[in-house]
């Protein structure tokens, strides 16, 4: 079964952007690791990244139409994109898992990071576990699909 792993703005800079917060591994490494983790779980994982809110919203519509579960790190959109939140809402409405991932623990950081407009519409949220959080998210998707 296909699963998309969607990453929001500035996550294309993984590895060079605030490595003290986000680590030294880049997006290509995350892509490889998610592929390997997915294979262990019998999932075909496609990792995407965009700095464009409209493109990310389009990916949600496509996931709903195709019945594809979503792992999402909405990055800064987490904190203010009602458009992405509404699109993410439709994933749950379609009965599909939506696991929100944050590499850091946003609630331990700036005040503006303490609220997520995505969490209320996510099946679950994983924070503060670095890139390993994506592995946990894929395991959660596999678990939820097994139960369905």
Pairwise CA distance, residues 19 & 54, whole Å:
28
DSSP structure class, residue 11: G
- By CB under 6 A, the residues from 60 to 119 that bind ligand DQA are 73, 75-76, 78, 102-104, 106, 113
Query: Annotated binding residue at 50?
Result: no
CB atoms within 10 A of CB 12: 16
- By CB under 6 A, the residues from 8 to 27 that bind ligand DQA are 10
Strands 70-73 and 2-7, by their bridges, are parallel
Query: Annotated binding residue at 39?
Result: no
- Which one is catalytic: 61, 102, 134, 143? 102
Tokens 């998210």 identify what position?
137
61 belongs to the catalytic site: no
Task: Please compute, for residue 103, the number of CA atoms within 13 A of its CA located in the half-sphere on the CB side.
Answer: 23
- Which one is catalytic: 22, 61, 82, 134? 22
CA torsion through residues 37, 42, 44, 46, sign: negative
115 belongs to the catalytic site: no
DSSP structure class, residue 105: -
**How far apart are CB 83 and ligand DQA at their closest, in Å?**
16
Q: Taking CB under 6 A as the rule, does residue 137 contact ligand DQA?
A: no
Q: For ligand DQA, which is the closer residue by CB, 3 or 102?
A: 102
Q: For ligand DQA, which is the closer residue by CB, 94 or 129?
A: 129
Catalytic annotation, residues: 22, 102
């Amino acid at each position: 079964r296909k699963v998309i792993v969607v990453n929001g703005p500035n996550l294309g800079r993984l590895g060079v952007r605030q490595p003290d917060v986000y680590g030294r591994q880049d997006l290509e490494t995350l892509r490889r690791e998610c592929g390997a983790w997915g294979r262990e779980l019998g999932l075909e994982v496609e990792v995407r990244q965009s700095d464009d809110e409209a493109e990310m919203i389009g990916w949600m519509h496509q996931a709903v139409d195709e019945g594809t579960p979503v792992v999402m790190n909405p990055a800064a959109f987490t904190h203010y994109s009602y458009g992405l939140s509404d699109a993410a809402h439709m994933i749950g409405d379609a009965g599909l898992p939506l696991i929100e991932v944050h590499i850091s623990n946003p609630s331990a950081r700036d005040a503006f990071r303490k609220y997520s407009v995505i969490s209320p519409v996510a099946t679950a949220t994983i924070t503060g576990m670095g890139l390993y959080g994506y592995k946990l998210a894929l395991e959660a998707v596999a678990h939820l699909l097994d139960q369905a």
